[in-house]
Amino acid sequence: WRLQAPLIAEINRLKREKDAVILAHNYMTPEIFHGVGDYVGDSLGLAKEAAKSKARVIVQAGVHFMAETSKILSPEKKVLIPDLQAGCSLAASITGADVRLIKQRYPGLPVVTYVNTTAEVKAETDICCTSANAVQVVEEAARLWGVDRVILIPDEFLARNVARQTDIKIIAWKGRCEVHERFTAADILEIKEAYPDAEVLAHPECPAEVLEVSDFAGSTAAMNDYVLTRKPKRVVLITECSMADNVAADAVDTEFVRPCNLCPHMKRITLENIYEALLHERYEVTVDPLIAERARLAVQRMVDLPP
């Protein structure tokens, strides 16, 4: 941290010079999250900030689909991602052509798409959701369309976890998050045996068997709120590794047990490439305007939902 202080100071100076903001996801390393992030949070929170921001430049300290979402909501801004290879196994699991085929197979059903998708997929979507609002969005879509079945893609596990919480029938896809699919119920039971007082908080991208033995399921922002408001004595966050590091900095009374998996895509973003991104205003993320216009409807519908 201390060694990084000059680079952090230089990034913060460049942000002012360039009229830029850094939107940092909860999975960024602490020096990014606490050192240079102007807005930090989950996918939903960052999308809302992108829509509101008045800055000329947005640097997305996150993965490519997040930068595309920012561009879709703020087409007049320059949106930069420090590494173009920062992808996502969920976004890579489905194409626009796949969604068109699903729609042919289930005509008349609303398509709810997780934000972890490309702009091309969002353009085929009726309304987007994140892990923070998926149940609400599915129920709202069923109500608006007057149906009892909804297409929810591409995360198979998120779809299954939403299905457990609603009477709406869910048609799912086979995408998975390569970070969360690796957790098993046996991992959780082992932790509970070693630390009987630990509260287990798991992300809804985990397999259903993991959520069944966890104490709470929620988005990264919901986990953050849980720890900061309920102040558990001991906690385990079943998610990406940086999450616990970032919350721990603010949760001094809580002890963290730290089994976690790294997201190789999120970890492509570093202080060094954020600095280069700001300095050279690279790498710009663009979205075909016709695709962006259709995708915007789906994202905006989600952003406009009541909290």
Which entry of ligand SF4, ligand 13P, none binds 89, CB below 5 to 8 A by partner kind?
ligand SF4
Is 258 within 8 Å of 203 (Cβ atoms)?
no
Which entry of ligand SF4, ligand 13P, none binds 125, CB below 5 to 8 A by partner kind?
none
- Minimum separation from the CB atom of position 18 to ligand SF4 (A): 26
Considering only the stretches 128-136, 174-182, 191-199, 207-215, report the one whose residues sit in contact with ligand SF4 under the rule CB under 6 A.
Answer: 174-182
Q: How many CA atoms lie within 13 A of 12 on its CB side?
A: 14
Q: Which residues contribute to the site for ligand 13P (CB under 6 A)?
A: 26, 42-44, 116, 130-132, 177, 205, 219-220
Q: Is 116 in the site for ligand SF4 (CB under 6 A)?
A: yes
- Minimum separation from the CB atom of position 252 to ligand SF4 (A): 26
Q: Is 224 in the site for ligand SF4 (CB under 6 A)?
A: no
Site string for ligand SF4, 14-43 (x = CB under 6 A): ------------------------------
User: Which of 21, 23, 90, 217: binder of ligand SF4 (CB under 6 A)?
Assistant: 90
Which entry of ligand SF4, ligand 13P, none binds 74, CB below 5 to 8 A by partner kind?
none
User: Which of 22, 63, 67, 112: binder of ligand SF4 (CB under 6 A)?
Assistant: 63
- Minimum separation from the CB atom of position 44 to ligand 13P (A): 6
Is 28 within 8 Å of 62 (Cβ atoms)?
yes
Q: Is 179 in the site for ligand SF4 (CB under 6 A)?
A: yes
Burial (CB count within 10 angstroms: exposed 0-12, middle 13-18, buried 19+), residue 167: exposed
Site for ligand SF4 in 199-218 (CB under 6 A): 205
Across the beta sheet with 111-114, what order do the strands follow?
A: 127-129, 111-114, 149-153, 169-171
* Whole-angstrom distance, CA of residue 277 vs CA of residue 32: 14
